[in-house]
């Protein structure tokens, strides 16, 4: 088992990565402060892992909400079901919410924990690669609004993350690839060596080699934890974690949430960011080619949907929360391993990227 | 103009109390960081003061949501209208929300600011005495749930509070009394001298004497600011601010939110807390009589609704968030000016209080 620490003063917490962590009652008990536990999961994950979690929290009052599966249910309305459940079962301010599932479950359970009685503890047990390397680290929680993704939310740090690599064996292929998109992102923005490691080990990851997966998760979480510790509430440097996300969110919104997986949209979005970076003269042709090739090898889309026009992108990027004071703000690349945040975007080059990255 | 400072490290903010503060563009401009302003108010307040606020924020992009008036609209559903408005008008992370209204508007606009894009700035312009002395200080924000009051919320500090005493001249009599309930509370929990001042000056307050009101607001805010600075997130001592609130919330919930004003329920609730304190031998008969008399002189109810049975209270108090680990936790009085928090409540004495404090 690898253990990392996310260093955030009085909100510091451990991430354990390894086999057979779901159902480890000792690791849970160390980080549960009260006598009530509330498990939030979804209808896909519940039959697979809910029993294992329940058996590891015996001796507590335990209640559960099982959400419908999918990004389209990440709404204020569905969130309210968690509050209904908590209040009906009379959970008090000392309760601990456990998020058992992918990013959607983690974001919703985390936001419910942030708001319930103005804040209670929560624990993440991510069941997708994407949730392990991204959403379970850093404390971003929230729900979508019909006019924009993650527009309603809070920063709320978990007390513990248990990343059990055993669950990745049941993960559908598309979801594995979607997780790898965020893994590649860490290489692109800040870790050239890790990018090279990924070029060497992409086949092992796709074949779900245990050691390769554990290493990729650890290195990703280390990268993210370092950035989050520098800038918990995204006042500055943390924004580099959004590489590919402004384009990606526009794709998700245009297609309706749940059609493209988040990681798939980020995959195409990172290619768009790399393409624009190259057109602006900052990323070399070689680095653009390597970036595109690695994303493609992971089984991710490298083109935006064919029916998305430039004006669709611009309109949807205009309400993205990465827009600063009405100006478009993007994370771009200087080189593999080196990201830069800029508001100085030439409209003509952006139009060229839309044209070049549109699917057939 | 009096100015106090609520001392909370990087979230420190000023409270200005005085005449002609609504419409003071200089005080607002000092504390607005971006170029967008979003005013949240309600249909009662908008015709009276919205124009004055709008005229003081010229030069910004300004948009507005006018909410229905009343505690019964303090819901997740109505909150969503603020998010709709913010997103439709494309407000970004640098926007500032202004809450223009009473406690309900302040709680909702503050919670919207806490959650919108995971947190934006907000300013309180309270238009009721209760909001000036209570909800605009301390950063508690939130909405109600059918199963409990303020069950969904966040701690989110304003950047500025403008308490304009001119608005109190148009305040309905019941609302003035409701505000005085919280003013009396500060005397009861921590400020014996202020309680004595209130005994001397209750008539002046009820006659809306300018100087008496300004002094009462200042002294109340000072008391609250001191407690909040000690314990921002209610880990301990801040809970004394809940004197009368556990009983009061049960009354509000039983009657349906909006029937009893919050301050009215707190008035009766404080009498119940004082009654129980006396039965437990901690509060003298004299102090109980003075407490009851002052609350009655303010025009507040001193009895619970006649149709509320002890089991109604117990059931509704059981989901109150002041319940710790399933045990009832109450703020009681040792003396006027001295509160104590206890979980050691004798059921028989509580039943006597229910019986003694039930209206005819």
Q: Contact A92/B233, CB-based, under 8 Å?
A: no
Tell whether the model's pLDDT for residue B245 goes beyond 80.
yes
What residue segments make up the domains of chain B, in order of their start?
Answer: 2-170, 173-356
Q: Contact B84/A147, CB-based, under 8 Å?
A: yes
Report pLDDT for B323.
55
Q: Which residue of A has its CA nearest to B117?
A: A151
Q: What is the mean pLDDT of residues A122-127?
A: 97
Q: What is the mean pLDDT of residues B183-191?
A: 97
Place of tokens 């069950």: B151
Q: Which residue of A has its CA nearest to B88?
A: A147
Report pLDDT for A69.
93
What are the backbone angles phi and psi of residue B244, rounded to the nearest 5°?
80, -10
Q: Which residues of B touch A318 (CB under 8 A)?
A: 90
Spell out the CATH class of B2-170: alpha beta
Place of tokens 């870790």: A191
Tell whether the model's pLDDT for residue A345 goes beyond 90.
no
CA distance A13 to chain B (A): 20
Cβ–Cβ under 8 Å, residues B159 and B99: no
- 3-state secondary structure (DSSP) of residue A282: coil
Tell whether the model's pLDDT for residue A343 goes beyond 90.
no
Task: Provide the annotated active-site residues of A.
Answer: 118, 140, 182, 224, 234, 238, 242, 245, 249, 262
Tell whether the model's pLDDT for residue A116 goes beyond 90.
yes
Q: Which of A90, A93, A154 sits opposite B154 (nearest CB)?
A: A154
Structure tokens at B302: 């001193």
Structure tokens at A186: 């860490």
Q: Contact A34/B145, CB-based, under 8 Å?
A: no
Tell whether the model's pLDDT for residue B340 goes beyond 90.
yes
Q: What is the mean pLDDT of residues A87-105?
A: 95
Q: Which residues of B touch A78 (CB under 8 A)?
A: none
Structure tokens at B72: 């019964």
Q: Contact B80/A76, CB-based, under 8 Å?
A: yes
Structure tokens at B165: 């005493």
Structure tokens at B168: 């109190």
How far apart (Å, rounded) are the C-alpha atoms in residues A64 and A100?
10
Do B2-170 and B173-356 agree at the fold level? Answer: no
Q: Which of A35, A119, A319 sits opposite B325 (nearest CB)?
A: A35
Q: Contact A324/B94, CB-based, under 8 Å?
A: yes
Q: Which residue of B has its CA nearest to A82?
A: B152
Name every residue whose Cβ is closer than 8 Å to that of residue A359 and which is 6 or more positions away in sequence. Answer: A301, A303, A304, A305, A306
Report pLDDT for A21.
94
Tell whether the model's pLDDT for residue B325 goes beyond 70.
no
Report pLDDT for B322.
54
| Per-residue model confidence as pLDDT tens digits over A213-268 | 999 999 999 999 999 888 877 778 889 999 999 999 899 888 876 689 889 999 99
Q: Which of B93, B151, B155 sits opposite A321 (nearest CB)?
A: B93
Say if the ipTM goes beyond 0.90: no
Report pLDDT for A349.
93
How far apart (Å, rounded) are the C-alpha atoms in residues B267 and A215?
61
Q: What is the second-level CATH architecture of the domain B173-356?
A: Up-down Bundle (1.20)
Report pLDDT for A344.
84
| Per-residue model confidence as pLDDT tens digits over B134-175 | 877 889 999 999 988 899 999 999 999 999 999 999 899 999
Strand blocks (E) in B131-177: 140-145, 148-155, 160-164
């Amino acid at each position: 088992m690898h253990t990392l620490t996310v260093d955030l003063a009085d909100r510091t917490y451990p991430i354990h990565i390894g086999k057979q962590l779901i159902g480890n009652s000792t690791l849970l008990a160390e980080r549960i402060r009260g006598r009530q536990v509330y498990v939030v999961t979804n209808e896909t994950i519940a039959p697979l892992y809910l029993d294992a979690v329940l058996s590891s929290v015996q001796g507590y009052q335990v209640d559960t909400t099982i959400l419908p599966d999918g990004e389209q249910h990440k709404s204020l309305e569905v969130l309210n079901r968690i509050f209904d459940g908590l209040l009906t079962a009379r959970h008090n301010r000392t309760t601990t919410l456990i998020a058992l599932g992918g990013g959607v479950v983690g974001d919703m359970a985390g936001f419910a924990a942030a708001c319930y009685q103005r804040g209670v503890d929560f624990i993440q047990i991510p069941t997708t690669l994407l949730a392990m390397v991204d959403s379970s680290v850093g404390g971003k929680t929230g729900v979508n609004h019909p006019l924009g993704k993650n527009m309603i939310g809070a920063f709320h740090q978990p007390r513990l993350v248990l990343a059990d690599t055993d669950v990745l064996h049941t993960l559908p292929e598309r979801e594995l690839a979607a997780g790898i998109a965020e893994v590649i992102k860490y290489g692109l923005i800040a870790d050239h060596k890790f990018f090279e490691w990924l070029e060497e080990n992409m086949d092992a990851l796709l074949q779900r080699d245990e050691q390769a997966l554990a290493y990729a998760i650890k290195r990703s979480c280390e990268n993210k934890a370092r950035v989050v510790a520098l800038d918990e509430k995204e006042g500055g440097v943390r924004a580099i974690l959004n590489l590919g996300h402004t384009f990606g969110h526009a794709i998700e919104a245009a297609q309706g949430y749940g059609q493209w997986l988040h990681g798939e949209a980020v995959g195409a979005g990172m290619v768009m960011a790399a393409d624009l970076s190259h057109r602006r003269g900052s990323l070399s042709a070689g680095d653009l080619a390597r970036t595109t090739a690695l994303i493609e090898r992971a089984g991710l889309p490298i083109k935006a949907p064919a029916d998305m026009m430039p004006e669709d992108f611009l309109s949807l990027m205009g309400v993205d929360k990465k827009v600063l004071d009405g100006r478009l703000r993007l994370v771009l690349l200087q080189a593999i391993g080196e990201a830069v945040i800029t508001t100085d975007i030439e409209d003509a080059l952006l139009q060229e990227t839309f044209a070049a990255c549109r699917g057939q």
